[in-house]
Amino acid sequence: MPIQILDSSTVDKIAAGEVVESPASVIKELVENALDAEADEIVVEIRKGGKSYIRVTDNGLGIPEEEINKSVIRHATSKIEVIDDLYQLKTLGFRGEALSSIAAVSQFEITSRTSQGEIGQSLVVQGGDKVSQKSVGCVKGTTVIVRNLFYNIPARKKFLKSDQAETTHVTDIVTKLSLINPHVSFKYIKDHQIVLSTPMQSTRENIIASVLGGDFSKSLIPLKHISEQLELSGYVTDLNYFRGNRKMQLLFVNGRFISDKNLSLAIERAYGSLLPKGRFPGFVLYLTLDPKSIDVNIHPQKAIVKIENHSDIESLLYHLVSKILREKFLTKRPSSHQSKPSTEPNGEMDSPPLIEESDLIFEPPVRNSDIKVEPNQGFIHMDKNPYVSDPKDDDYIASNNHPNKSIIYDHLVYIGTFSLGYLIFENPLLKELYIMDQHAAHERINYEKLLKQYKHKSISIQPLLMPEVLHLSSSEYQQALNQIELLGQLGFEIEDFGTNALVLTAIPMLFSDVPLKKMMYGLLDDLQNNLHDQLPDIERLIKKACVLSVKISDPLNRREVDVLLAELSSCDSPHTCPHGRPIWIKFAQSEIEKLFDR
């Protein structure tokens, strides 16, 4: 094919693909335009996830009558004039691509009036072609309506997610935009229903509580740092709040939300081993830098920015969060001969912290031992651990010359407990030592019980004497409302409790003694992590619920150990937890003797 110059329509549609990914990206661009126009009241409305209808109305400066035609021309902008302006940006937009890109892939209408204009102008564009322009009566500000997104690009339209998934993404965008602009009143309407409404001139604290939920806001610890290079403020969560994903980690730089994995990891390192494995802290942080020190022109949606001295900011975040956690949770009690440090009126101690850096447990501690072993002596090196059963091998017991599962458990003699959660047994017939993971055993037992009850539609329900209220973020609330029926099939009876709140009134009997809020947040996280599944996997949710139902292992008496063994022996798969990890490992006497060179 010879080289040829593409026509303007094709060029516009290709360019639109870089800026417009989904309804959420459209709304982000339109709301940022409204903010740049100094609006303090913004209304966002969507229908069917934004795929059929989007409206953004603001009370900003408006577009002059003679300039409204230019607004939908590519690279026409009022925000920069020369290339040097890119390095001192004080606006969210600057490329002049948003309106032209959106208009190229939708049925587009823009209406606007300035405070000086007596009447407004309305411009209609369809698939990038101007259809009409007329004078209309309207209030000061701008309204943009986008209908049938990607109607003229079927290949792009078919990749849009379900209405529910797209709505979740839109809600997430509106939430973030409201968090960074507490002085602006946002109203968010979904399918003719008001989902979110924030007051004008509110505080960050109130906005966080309103859009991210009371449970999140109550866990926050304030953080502040000011230097010549930057200003940092915001909040991090305490040790009682953590999630199964990073969706509650929000970082804003110079008034725009960004995604920066390294900065997030710096904060997570500060928590270190203080949170359970696979759980993440939340934070809302606002970072203000000299515009000349950041480059926002490296990503089509401006979701990633390049920051000078990035490693210095990583280090700063790590040490600031570490210090806060150390002072709040890890400070040692003074000994009897130490006097208490005096406290200034601002709450800061005027004496050094009572804990030394060497006492921190943010990184896994290195255990010292008095026993010295020469390298490569006294150890058996193998490519595969011979003591752990292979969860993928259904014939594990038979293939390894073990008796069946009932005989194994019938002949185990309980010896004791190691490290609060590992049960030690002896099989005198086979001269073997067994170590069982109590936590994994309970997971397996609960999983098979609930799965069988679900399949037989016989889940035992326990009403809660004191119903548990969940104060959710706006996006979590909308998602949970869509999943109430599904969760009800698992025995969780949930009712709408008003603005961004649900009330849990009953639970499966199996989970009568577990932290209910953490379990429910874990299930919501799992649904969020698998948002694009057309049909949620019931067995996956049951597995997740059972894992969340097991607390840190409590000590068991001998009778409870016998009950555990009996229940485990009745399981269909008694050798692995629901995720395939081994429940027990064994050591034959000969293998132990070999370790001692006998």
Tell me the C-alpha distance between 412 and 406, whole Å: 10
Residue from 176, 166, 202, 148 nearest 40 by CA: 202
Query: Do 252 and 124 fall into the same domain?
Result: no
What digits encode the pLDDT tens for the residues 183-194? 999 999 999 999
Tell me the C-alpha distance between 345 and 544, whole Å: 47
474 CB-near residues (< 8 Å, 6+ apart): 171, 174, 175, 188, 195, 196, 211, 212, 500
> In a 3-state reduction of DSSP, which class is residue 77?
coil
Tokens of 296: 């926002």
| Burial per residue of 346-366, b for 16 or more beta-carbon CB atoms within 10 angstroms, e otherwise | eeeeeeeebeeeeebebeeee
Report the percentage of the chain scoring pLDDT > 90: 33
361 inside domain: no
**What domain range includes position 126?**
8-204
372 inside domain: no
Q: What is the pLDDT of residue 93?
A: 53
Domain count, the chain: 3
**352 pLDDT higher than 60:** no
Among 265, 299, 329, residue at a domain's last position: 329
Q: Are 50 and 24 in contact (CB under 8 A)?
A: yes
Query: Do 49 and 145 fall into the same domain?
Result: yes
353 inside domain: no
What digits encode the pLDDT tens for the residues 296-341? 766 655 567 788 888 999 999 999 999 999 888 865 444 444 444 4
> In a 3-state reduction of DSSP, which class is residue 442?
helix
**213 pLDDT higher than 80:** yes
Query: Do 592 and 565 fall into the same domain?
Result: yes
Query: Do 414 and 504 fall into the same domain?
Result: yes
Query: Pairing relation of β-strands 294-295 and 461-471?
Result: unpaired
Q: How confident is the model over 393-404, as a mean pLDDT?
A: 40
Q: How confident is the model over 377-383, as a mean pLDDT?
A: 35
**23 pLDDT higher than 70:** yes
Helix-then-strand count for the chain, H and E: 18, 22
First to last CA, the chain: 77
Residue from 206, 222, 224 nearest 214 by CA: 206
Q: What is the pLDDT of residue 301?
A: 57
Among 329, 347, 375, residue at a domain's last position: 329
Residue 446, CA distances (Å) to 69, 508, 549 in order: 65, 11, 8
Tell me the C-alpha distance between 462 and 533, whole Å: 30
Q: What is the pLDDT of residue 77?
A: 66
Q: How confident is the model over 245-261, as a mean pLDDT?
A: 89
Among 304, 329, 354, residue at a domain's last position: 329
What one-letter code names the amino acid at 469? Answer: V
595 inside domain: yes
307 CB-near residues (< 8 Å, 6+ apart): 253, 260, 289, 293, 294, 313
**363 pLDDT higher than 90:** no
Tokens of 489: 């099939």
Helices (H), 261-419: 261-271, 310-325, 396-399, 405-410
Q: What is the pLDDT of residue 179?
A: 93
Q: What is the pLDDT of residue 83?
A: 60
Q: What is the pLDDT of residue 397?
A: 35
Strand order in the sheet with 256-258: 220-226, 230-237, 283-289, 249-253, 256-258
Q: Which helix (H) or strand (E) holds 479?
A: helix 474-482
Of 197-211, 362-376, 444-458, the range with the lowest mean pLDDT is: 362-376
Of 168-177, 371-380, 585-594, the range with the lowest mean pLDDT is: 371-380
Q: Please, what is the average pLDDT of the chain?
A: 80
Query: Do 426 and 540 fall into the same domain?
Result: yes
**Residue 144: which pLDDT band, with cuts at 50, 70 and 90?**
very high
Report field, pTM of the whole predicted structure over 0.75: no
What digits encode the pLDDT tens for the residues 520-575? 888 888 887 776 554 457 778 888 887 777 666 667 888 888 888 888 888 888 88
The phi-psi region of residue 581 (left if phi > 0; otherwise alpha if psi is between -120 and 50; otherwise beta) is beta
Query: Do 280 and 300 fall into the same domain?
Result: yes
Query: Do 307 and 176 fall into the same domain?
Result: no
Q: What is the pLDDT of residue 73?
A: 83
Residue 567: give its domain's CATH number: 3.30.1540.20
Tell me the C-alpha distance between 507 and 34, whole Å: 45
**416 pLDDT higher than 80:** yes
